Structure 1
């Protein structure tokens, strides 16, 4: 049976934000301005004399740019743009900053250009956009108003992306500025939408509606307005929140983007059948759109229309898009249909990606059920040839998959460490296998190899200290290692548990109990419960100890460490 992956579907169906292109050499506002450019021709200006002290840095900037050393060229131009009263120089520095996507320099140069040429509305728009991207929304809204005043309206709503994270004064300033813009330009849809969003963020849904209604009257097909209205209806829990968007989609059937947003909203609200129906219509008009096919395939998979999902994922593969995700889901479907060779081949085709590790693990699961250790080793050899940049991760997966064959896991780690002799992950993994096989000296050697490279490797300090606590009487040394780990990662419940346990071994019962209670409260793991119960038991507090153990067993019945502790102490759990 295939387990649905709602998280994948929900992620794929979230409403997409408006995309913006990489800045080029035109002065633009990439975040807050729609289709704004500074004209390539300017009113003739009197030639600005260049001070002698600026000649050399400007020449150096020119040489740097000819050599394509854009960072140095930008630094020199920006420095001179601040010093000289020359709009043309500031404009050139801004274009270069946009070209290299240097947010801070672009924001600074745009602001400088407005200072030098206050009537340049496109410069104000650029300043608003770059300041917004730079995380300065209050300043960005100020320049947005200047842009409006000079006939360059901007998408001021982009400054609300971090609204909830702002302090109260900043929120008030932004809200006031946006409402002022909407009041002064009541026919501007972008301003009205921004004001509606502000009201929604403030929880004033009626006021939000009052801003959006005129937009819908002027532009009933405006996607942002339709989707914002729908969100307001969802916020208020009305009986049919999708009424307007459904009606608008029916009225404008050729508007693919509107239908796509409707489908995504249905999916994000858990209405997968409704979303699927919309994707059917979308694909009728655009059958080779890989993005639509991929999302529709995920919906089919979620709703267990596996044959339809398989067909769509195979189309995506044919189109050469989102290959890793498509191969992964093909493998999942083939696996569910007991077509193991096809499933293994699909999982093998998944390259380094979000699905990579799970795909290889599922392939190995099938190989373990149907093949031998030699087949697993051959599979991973082929995978490392196919994906050499993921070789280290593949050695780890191979070692983990060979755990059921005596000695094979260690051999896989050995092969991996020949290729990656300094790999912390491989050394740590091999150390854990050594511990499970009682090879404590070899385990300690591997962990100390890590510490030789990084004396502050927290996980290794804790692992070595905990191992020494459990398997030796080197308690003082163990405590020192764990205390170092806790100093590096204060509050980590696993390390707190380790320290409480070694203090118990040292006979420091009160300190041990306090630490173990802290760890248990933060992370009520059965192993922590076993430790805390033992500390309570040896102090004569048997009733409390039994309660802690019972709680641990209620979370994981028959947990071996709790049962071993109870048996060793001669305790009974009636």
Structure 2
């Protein structure tokens, strides 16, 4: 609708300039005549100055202007039907093709096909060579199901050569817009299949890629892949390689995607888009160290540095992290805040806490990264045994946050987490409560307080906060899962718990934590077979200590004690001090 209003405004302004002068004269004369007294035909006086005045009839131009004004007003108020009617009336009496074009477009937008045909016919009479006529005609033929007629118009649109120069990209763009707007997706796909030949696509690689993307949107995946592969073979452009690799990934063919990215870098080794795409693929395949090494080759910028840091951290490769740290540290000043923050993060990964604190401390207080930098400093202070200093800094951060709800909420969260880390859980609950006084119904604070209340065995408080979170965010999978798990583990509302967890799983079908909760509630309901099945699935996806505690217990109760011990042992490798794991083994005498 916004585009239509803009077009109509431009059109109206142009037409108004042409018609305004005549309109003023006529309007003025009509206004004067409207005040004349009535005169009897029997007593006319030839000497009266107004006796022979001829009131002119309203000119066609004036009529067009009024109709355009009426249509413009209707369109600006969202009344497409009245606007279309007004534009068509104006088009039928105007000799301006722009009026007919506007009438056609408005009618098409409103899906008034008969009106669109009338306006289009007028447009063709006034300016038969306008390219827009082909697009409009193809749209109407698509609506009527006239495949061959639509094909003829679209083909002519692609072949337009104004001023002797190929304008294929513009023609194909119009074709794409027309086919994407078609209600019959199959017919649109059939037409694209006929149109997308090497002859029509020409010698511009970007067109091949664009039409391949269009084919995918029209559910022609085979055509999309075929065009992408040919674009790679014919043009060897980075766009072609990147798109072909994306299609390969979509088909879950990582091997081919990897080959395509490797080939692409042989043609364009410095292209950042290709390097980043290839590195992401390597990371998805678990080759994080190789992804970091790949990005280390070629031009560098802060985005590349950040990606290298992320992949090196995922690989837990200290050598890569240290090399990157030294490389960035050696760069000349001045250092932007993004780089200072990254240096601080790398120093933390290398356990150089004083250095990390120094880098974070150089971020200017007026910079967008200042809040995050100060947050990291508070955490570092706490880790170095300076808990009081850390909390003092957090209170300063809270005061600086002012009315920034996001920053203020995060500052209260940080205070609570620091207090919890210092084994001051009641004070941590108080921090959440103070935060909620400043930010009522803040779901982050409610959720955090609920989890902490559960740790303190304050089940009623935890349940109350989690129910409020679910009330505020009914489709929050994590909140649904937390409430469901709490009800299953701590209350008798196990049927309700099952429903909540099932809803959470429908929102996040592959989330290991939710699958673990499903297995646990099934266990609590006495469904041991289903519980083992769900917990095994969760443990295969994420073999952490928490899931190991649940899975091992269900196996133990089911009589599979040897397997239970193996599961617990694997969980202990991940976190040998996990409270749930230790408590479970102790309670079961294992």
TM-score of the superposed pair, with normalisation by structure 1 = 0.59
List per-residue Cα deviations over 1:309-347 (Å, max 9, x = no partner).
563643xxxxxxxxx746644655787681635513528
Distance 2:512 2:534 in 1: 9
Gaps of 5+ in 2: 19-58, 141-146, 216-221, 246-256, 280-293, 310-322
Quote how far apart the aligned CAs of 1:417 are: 0.5
Secondary structure at the counterpart of residue 372 of structure 1 = helix
Distance 1:187 1:359 in 2: 51
Q: Does 1:178 align with 2:196?
A: yes
Distance 1:545 1:297, change over 3 A: closer
Distance 1:175 1:419, change over 3 A: same
Q: Does 1:62 align with 2:72?
A: yes
- Among 425, 431, 434, the alignment partner of 1:415 is 434
Secondary structure at the counterpart of residue 535 of structure 1 = helix
Quote how far apart the aligned CAs of 1:185 are: 8.2
Distance 1:404 1:74, change over 3 A: same
Bigger Cα displacement from structure 2, 228-237 vs 506-515:
228-237
Distance 1:300 1:511 in 2: 42
After TM superposition, list the pairs within 5 Å mapping 1:485-564 onto structure 2.
485-487=501-503, 489-490=505-506, 491=509, 494-517=513-536, 519-520=538-539, 524-553=543-572, 556-557=575-576, 559-564=578-583
Distance 1:228 1:383, change over 3 A: same
- The 8 Å contact of residues 264 and 275 in structure 1, kept in 2 or not, is answered as no
Quote how far apart the aligned CAs of 1:74 are: 5.9
- The 8 Å contact of residues 469 and 479 in structure 2, kept in 1 or not, is answered as yes
Q: Does 1:380 align with 2:400?
A: no
Quote how far apart the aligned CAs of 1:396 are: 2.7
Distance 1:203 1:421, change over 3 A: same
- The 8 Å contact of residues 84 and 106 in structure 2, kept in 1 or not, is answered as no
Quote how far apart the aligned CAs of 1:429 are: 0.9
Distance 1:568 1:172, change over 3 A: same
Q: Does 1:570 align with 2:589?
A: yes
Corresponding position of 2:333: 311
After TM superposition, list the pairs within 5 Å mapping 1:449-468 onto structure 2.
449-450=468-469, 459-468=478-487
Corresponding position of 2:29: none
Distance 1:430 1:239, change over 3 A: closer
The number of aligned residues is 458
- Among 61, 77, 89, the alignment partner of 2:83 is 77
Corresponding position of 2:298: 275
Distance 2:347 2:573 in 1: 37
- The 8 Å contact of residues 178 and 191 in structure 1, kept in 2 or not, is answered as no
Quote how far apart the aligned CAs of 1:542 are: 2.2
Gaps of 5+ in 1: 1-21, 28-36, 98-102, 132-137, 213-224, 247-260, 280-292, 315-323
Quote how far apart the aligned CAs of 1:457 are: 6.0
Secondary structure at the counterpart of residue 355 of structure 2 = coil
Rg: which structure is higher? 2
List per-residue Cα deviations over 1:474-517 (Å, max 9, x = no partner).
32x23323324424643565445334434434544445445444
Distance 1:521 1:176, change over 3 A: same
List per-residue Cα deviations over 1:220-244 (Å, max 9, x = no partner).
xxxxx75468879999779986676
- Among 410, 423, 445, the alignment partner of 1:426 is 445
List per-residue Cα deviations over 1:131-181 (Å, max 9, x = no partner).
9xxxxxx99998664434443524267689999xx99986664354132xx
- The 8 Å contact of residues 432 and 443 in structure 1, kept in 2 or not, is answered as yes
List per-residue Cα deviations over 1:33-65 (Å, max 9, x = no partner).
xxxx9xx89xx9x969989xx989x65553467
Bigger Cα displacement from structure 2, 84-93 vs 522-531:
84-93
Corresponding position of 1:123: 132
Quote how far apart the aligned CAs of 1:430 are: 0.8
Corresponding position of 2:363: 346
Quote how far apart the aligned CAs of 1:470 are: 3.5
Distance 1:458 1:298 in 2: 30
- The 8 Å contact of residues 499 and 515 in structure 1, kept in 2 or not, is answered as yes
After TM superposition, list the pairs within 5 Å mapping 1:288-303 onto structure 2.
303=324
Corresponding position of 1:147: 157
- Among 420, 425, 438, the alignment partner of 1:403 is 420
Distance 1:303 1:345, change over 3 A: closer
Q: Does 1:440 align with 2:459?
A: yes
- The 8 Å contact of residues 446 and 465 in structure 2, kept in 1 or not, is answered as yes
- The 8 Å contact of residues 416 and 426 in structure 1, kept in 2 or not, is answered as yes
Q: Alpha carbon RMSD of aligned pairs, Å?
A: 5.7
Distance 2:224 2:72 in 1: 48
- The 8 Å contact of residues 532 and 555 in structure 2, kept in 1 or not, is answered as yes
Corresponding position of 1:481: 497
TM-score of the superposed pair, with normalisation by structure 2 = 0.57
Distance 1:312 1:373, change over 3 A: closer
Distance 1:392 1:209, change over 3 A: closer
List per-residue Cα deviations over 1:503-555 (Å, max 9, x = no partner).
43454444544544454456554433322332332233323433443444455
- The 8 Å contact of residues 302 and 339 in structure 2, kept in 1 or not, is answered as yes
Distance 1:535 1:96 in 2: 66
